Amino acid sequence: MKRIQVVAAVIYGDKNQYPNQILVSRRAGHLHQGGLWEFPGGKIEHSEAPQQGLSRELEEELGIRVTHAEPLMKIQHDYVDKKVSLDIWSVTAFEGEARGMEGQEIAWVPVDQLMNYDFPEANRAILEKILG
């Protein structure tokens, strides 16, 4: 089974508008792990660098342009039906107002409330890193 290369972002809110909050989005019901919350991102296209994929995905999904991002961690996770390699980035600055460009629900969630949301199993390590 081929491993799918995915990039995802832990997007921190603006200190004035969304202090100590992180943006999450809900996966559409018909998708793998549908209905669960996730850190926005998507598949890296052929010959695309992770940071390029991150910028493209966040513009397509949320309508924002990343102005500052740093690598956070890498994770490999095997589901029963697919294998993923996640390249996770911390996004601390962006331009534009985030919105669900593909009809997905989004939410700014206080960091201390993230555990109240249902995430895919592959995201557990990200939550542990954020919550330290």
CA 23 – CA 77 distance, rounded (Å) = 22
The reply, when asked if residue 99 is annotated as ligand binding, is no
3 state DSSP class of 56: helix
Nearest alpha-carbon partner for 96 in 23, 37, 8: 23
User: DSSP secondary-structure letter at 85?
Assistant: E
Nearest alpha-carbon partner for 23 in 103, 100, 80: 100
The reply, when asked if residue 41 is annotated as ligand binding, is yes
The reply, when asked if residue 39 is annotated as ligand binding, is yes
β-strands 106-110, 83-95 pairing: unpaired
The reply, when asked if residue 61 is annotated as ligand binding, is yes
Task: Tell me the residue type at 44.
Answer: I
The reply, when asked if residue 32 is annotated as ligand binding, is yes
Binding residues for Mg(2+): 41, 61
Binding residues for 8-oxo-dGTP: 27, 32, 38-41, 123
Binding residues: 27, 32, 38-41, 61, 123
